[in-house]
Amino acid sequence: MLDKSVRFLEEAFKEYYFNNLQIIHVPTRPSEREFGYQKFNSGMTRHISLKNDNELHLLLMTQVPSDVYCSNAYYSFPNLPMQEKDWKEADLIFDIDAKDLHLDCRKEHTCYKCTSCKEITNDQTTCSECGSSKFETISTVCERCITESTKEVKKLLEILTDDLGIKSQEIAVYFSGNEGFHIHVTSKGYQNLDSRERAELADYIMFNGAIPETFGMSKQKSSKASFPHIDEKGWRGRIAKEILGSKTRSSKIIQELFSGGYSVFQLKLEDLKQRIGVRIDPKVTMDVHRIFRLEGSINSKSGLSKILCKDLDTFDPFSEACLIDDKKVEVIANSPISFRLKDEKYGPYINEKVSVPKYAAVYMICKGLAEVLQ
């Protein structure tokens, strides 16, 4: 990114923070949390302690960070080095990212930037300009990515409330500002789980390691009568619903399922896992020392904000999280992929000068698909 583009982004971010301070708050129990931030073209500054909104707002105005983070963990001494912080407990967090869903549409909104000459192409074989074979991957998300990610979020919410008994008021779903969702659980009952217990919980949610024995099939002695009913709670009921389909208990389907034997049953479970297991990133859930993007802050990978999704069914990140103003800006855009922001489609652009609203200019510059003109 050119220096003038960095200055342009800093200016745009500063203006955003100045105009939106009323929506940017420290989370609950701020003095027990670790905060961190990054500036453009520089490393992470961590182990910061902030007591209130005023201190946060001062940091935003003086440092003009590209990204702002806050721990899900609560510590006695959040500003000391990690081993001296004295970890108390941590909110439970889940990460669902469109990238991890491996959808067909991804190739339509992914392009590659040559790391030597910065040429941007649709495929990553050899750079037509300089012959290099090293590329940086640039991707955007489309409506389908959001719809499919939202389905995963809904599957997760069902398990959290139905299986784990977490109240929906204790769950907050956020758009991450780029390609996915962060789900924060503040339920007291789950805050003191350690990393290993969180990993087990992630396995449960992803339907990892399910064994045929749980559903009545064993290597020695199978019992069709132990096959679950569709109205059972948890994974037994979910598996029964997937296999039986309707509300009636079909002995014919169960008979067929059991007749294949243990290994066929095991393969069937593995197949179902791909469909009904929730595709969360387990590494995020089990990390109890991580710092997460702060609600209301801008994600510098896109220029969109991390915001609360009030209604998942109607949520449109391309409008609702696009909070930078619309003053016209001239950029040199080189974007073989098109994208939508608000109700407008942008691109594709081939090394051309275009005049676009500031939020679209910020989006392209953050993605590495444009440089500002002045």
Known catalytic residues are: 95, 97, 281
Binding-site ranges for Zn ion (CB under 5 A): 105, 114, 116-117, 119, 127, 129-130, 132, 142, 144-145
**All residues at 6 or more sequence positions from 142 whose CB lies less than 8 Å from its CB, including other chains:** 105, 108, 109, 339, 340
Cα maximum dimension of the chain:
76
CB of 57 to Zn ion, least distance (A): 36
Residues 6 or more apart whose CB falls under 8 angstroms from that of 131 comprise: none
Residue number, 98 or 372, with CB nearest to Zn ion: 98
Report whether 162 contacts 72 (CB < 8 A).
no
Sign of CA dihedral 173, 277, 72, 289: negative
Query: Least distance in Å: CB of 146 to Zn ion?
Result: 8
How many C-beta atoms surround the C-beta of residue 243 within 10 A?
Answer: 19
Q: Which helix (H) or strand (E) holds 16?
A: helix 3-20
Least spacing, CB of residue 339 vs Zn ion, in Å? 10
**Residue 121 or 187: which CB sits closer to Zn ion?**
121
Helix/strand/coil (H/E/C) assignment for every residue in 299-316 = CCCCCCECEECCCCCCCC
Give the C-alpha separation, 349 to 66, whole Å: 26
Q: For residues 114 and 201, which CB has a smaller minimum distance to Zn ion in the complex?
A: 114
How far out from the chain centre does Cα 8 lie? Answer: 27
C-beta of 28 vs 116, nearer to Zn ion: 116
- Of 79 and 121, which CB lies nearer to Zn ion in the complex structure? 121
- Min CB(306)–Zn ion separation in Å: 20
Q: Which is nearer to Zn ion, 118 or 241 (by Cβ)?
A: 118
Name the minimum Å distance from CB 372 to Zn ion: 22
Question: Residue 159 corresponds to which tokens in the numbers above?
Answer: 């398990």
Q: Which is nearer to Zn ion, 107 or 154 (CB)?
A: 107
Q: Residue 368 Cβ, how far from Zn ion at the closest point, in Å? A: 14
Nearest distance from C-beta of residue 134 to Zn ion, angstroms:
8
Q: What is the CA radius of gyration of the chain?
A: 24
Give the whole-angstrom CA distance, residue 322 versus residue 310: 15
Question: Tokens representing 305?
Answer: 């904000």
Tell me the pairing of strands 307-308 and 291-293.
unpaired
* DSSP codes of every residue in 52-81: SHHHHHHHHHHH--SEEEEESEEESSTTS-
d(CA 169, CA 185): 9
Separation CA 100–CA 98 (nearest Å): 5
d(CA 330, CA 178): 23
